[in-house]
Amino acid sequence: MKTNSLILLIIAFVSFTTFAQKDKYLWLEDVENPKALEWVKQWNEKSLSVLKGHKNYQAVYDKNLEIYNSDERIPEPAIYGNFVFNFWQDKSNPRGIWRRIPAEDYIQGKTNWEILLDIDQLSVKDGEKWVFKGAVGLFPKYNRFLVSLSRGGGDAVVTNEFDATAKSFVENGFYLPEAKGGASWIDENTLMVSTDFGDGMTTSGYPKKVKIWKRGTALKDAKLVFEGSETDMGTWGMSEIKEHKTYRIITQRTSFYSGSYHVVENEKLIKAELQEDAVLSGIFNDMVILELKSDWETGGKTWKQGSVLSIPYNDLITGKKNFELIVLPDERSSVTSISTTKNVLLVNMLNNVKSELYKFTWENGWKTEKMNAPEFGNITMSATDENSDKFFFYFTNFLEPSTLFFGDATTGELKKVKSLPSFFPTEKYQVQQFEAVSKDGTKIPYFVVNLKEMKYTGNNPTLLYAYGGFEIPMLPSYNSVTGTAWLENGGVYVLANIRGGGEFGPSWHQAGLKKNRQRVFDDFHAVAESLIDKKITSPKKLGIFGGSNGGLLVGVAYTQRPDLYGAVVCAVPLFDMKRYNKLLAGASWMAEYGNPDIPEDWEYISKYSPYQNIKPGMNYPEVFFTTSTRDDRVHPGHARKAVAKMDELGYKVYYFENTEGGHAGASTNEQRAQMYALIYAYLQMKLMD
């Protein structure tokens, strides 16, 4: 070991030991500890008494609940055979019903839904607060499903075989105990399973083994086909059943952004020769579809970062390199999703943060055609049918409520199925796109939604939202709750497209990884400064809102630049970046942030980690922290400890911890209505009153 490295290691050990001795709030990481839960109860009572007492709280809550329970909502479609399946929550079904309807009836707007599973009734019967987490159907009849349910909304699920004809769980059928795992069908009597087999998971809390499980045998006796390492992020098995073949694919993620793919052929395991950060997006017409996150030299060619490639399945597993280019985005565009129908590959792209939909077909080479989808907004693929060319997608923007379209991918014909009603008068508002200049000169786009007659006095209450991580783009969308609770009360809404996201492809994301993380925060500060310079708002009127990685973002924002912000909503946040990798799924994110146990990484993480950078004597805004006891992805200890430390130093803060809801923070429409009523009551109190 080099001398410098040894010195850094000693310094890091001493620093951590000192920090651990000073961190008197480690006990708040014990989620179900009675002392911790009592602390939560007291903080909830104290904060709710203020926020629920706000003059507009009840009106906002009532309107939120009306919106969430509205029968005018679009039932989210999932196509299985001749049916559209949907999960639905409303006033009468707070935990929801899983149901189906013939596809043609759904397209025609009929409502003859057949209820398959009532989650409220099941919760009463089992004495559990079940949350529906999805179902996987068995091709081709789709009369059997693997239904996943979560206790209280966490990521860990219980999976049970369900008979859609009998509308009941199958007695002595396939059953997987609670774990952050899953299963997929190989055939009616065989599953490919990734779960906790009783001998441990990865350090990130995900499966490390994949097994083939036969009906009538014990799970412990399932056949092992692949085993990863305990230090991997996780390993998952997935089968794709097509008419002529069932593909069995194993994904080993050594980190969030790297890993390998294996396939099972003739009971043998074959590793695909791919770049470690390539993403296998699916199989289309016996071709493997790949997305590249970095340049790749192979087969005498260099494929550029962001490219989407194809190769015949048999060629890939035999080591051939005859890749074909499907699409190569430019520096201002990116691929947001890839979907398949029977004969068409659908690629949803962004061009300067606006969606465009393309169809690709194979005829001795790829042919492309831009589809006549709505423009100047956000397209989200909803459901595709791999047994036909039918598909559904949503279109929305800030001022247009979401509209569901039904399409034929072969003919290109599109048909409106249903549009959401507008809950506020959008004609009064305008959307503008601006650019801020970050500290290193990079131009950062952002959207502003405001009243057309807004005065540029610097006195407008403004809410800035961003995320900046994990290659997730922030896209224009209609939000009726934001419209009624914020815009209609005179607020301005801003969405920032900072680095770390996926708005402009992998390079936009990678520019903010690890040691370059400060760029993400600089981008956010730059947007705030731009809003102030344009006299759209001022620091005392500027509020910021972020959740999860976005919670880390706003935590850094107010600890680094308290002079810029007047209110902060810090939801289900990462906050203590010294210990994040030791809490729940935290270890899986070290490819994003770095490893705080490595001195060189902690050197840059320590400069922004909000928990370590809270200081006495600062002019911090009064922050509102939210989290969930049942969040098993981002540990509630992050938010708890932040509140405890700020309170110790004499700062006024607000805190609400929902007892269920998982990482989403809420499980029912009532809980969602309350959460956002609290958030907007806080924002109105701080920025409008």
DSSP E strands in 428-541: the ranges are 429-437, 443-451, 462-465, 492-496
And the tokens for 623? 């922050």
Task: Supply the mean pLDDT for the chain.
Answer: 95
> Residue 367: its pLDDT value, please?
97
Residue 72 has pLDDT above 80, yes or no: yes
From 313, 389, 385, 378, select the one nearest 351 (Cα to Cα).
378
Residue 663 annotated to the active site: yes
Whether the upstream peptide bond of residue 374 has omega within 30° of 0, thus cis, is no
With a CB cutoff of 8 Å and minimum separation 6, the contacts of 490 are 451, 460, 461, 688
In which element (H, E) is residue 207 found? none
Rounded average pLDDT over 372-400: 95
Residues 3-65+423-687, CATH architecture: 3-Layer(aba) Sandwich (3.40)
Residue 15 has pLDDT above 70, yes or no: no
Q: How many H helices and E strands in the chain?
A: 15, 39
Residue 548 annotated to the active site: yes
> Could you count the other beta carbons within 10 Å of the beta carbon of residue 669?
22
Q: How confident is the model at residue 660 (pLDDT cuts 50, 70, 90)?
A: confident
Burial of 172 (0-12, 13-18, 19+ CB in 10 A): exposed
And the tokens for 203? 């350090």
Residue 21 has pLDDT above 70, yes or no: no
Q: Is 83 helix (H, G, I), strand (E, B) or coil?
A: strand
From 128, 165, 163, select the one nearest 147 (Cα to Cα).
163
Candidate list 509, 525, 638, 663, residue with the active-site label: 663
Residue 97 has pLDDT above 50, yes or no: yes
pLDDT (tens digit, 9 = 90+) per residue, 499-538? Answer: 999 999 999 999 999 999 999 999 999 999 999 999 999 9
Give the Å distances, CA to CA, from 117 to 87, 150, 174, 627. 9, 15, 17, 29
Adjacent-strand bridge partners of 282: 289
What is the Cα–Cα distance from 528 to 614, expressed in whole angstroms? 21
Using alpha carbons only, what angle is made at residue 507 by residues 506 and 508, rounded to the nearest 5 degrees? 90
CB 610 within 8 A of CB 4: no
pLDDT (tens digit, 9 = 90+) per residue, 395-435? Answer: 999 999 999 999 999 999 999 999 999 999 999 999 999 99
pLDDT (tens digit, 9 = 90+) per residue, 281-330? Answer: 999 999 999 999 999 999 999 999 999 999 999 999 999 999 999 999 99
Q: How confident is the model at residue 371 (pLDDT cuts 50, 70, 90)?
A: very high
Candidate list 239, 355, 382, 548, residue with the active-site label: 548
What is the Cα–Cα distance from 197 to 211, expressed in whole angstroms? 9
> Residue 665: its pLDDT value, please?
82
> Residue 19: its pLDDT value, please?
44
pTM: 0.92
Burial of 111 (0-12, 13-18, 19+ CB in 10 A): exposed
> Residue 57: its pLDDT value, please?
98
CB 234 within 8 A of CB 260: no
> Residue 310: its pLDDT value, please?
98
Residue 9 has pLDDT above 60, yes or no: no
What is the Cα–Cα distance from 266 to 440, expressed in whole angstroms? 54
How far from the centroid of its chain's Cα atoms is residue 349's Cα?
A: 18
Q: Is 294 helix (H, G, I), strand (E, B) or coil?
A: coil
> Residue 334: its pLDDT value, please?
97
What is the Cα–Cα distance from 265 to 458, expressed in whole angstroms? 65
CB 509 within 8 A of CB 523: no
pLDDT (tens digit, 9 = 90+) per residue, 127-164? Answer: 999 999 999 999 999 999 999 999 999 999 999 999 99
And the tokens for 189? 């009597």
Rounded average pLDDT over 196-224: 96
pLDDT (tens digit, 9 = 90+) per residue, 584-630? Answer: 999 999 999 999 999 999 999 999 999 999 999 999 999 999 999 99
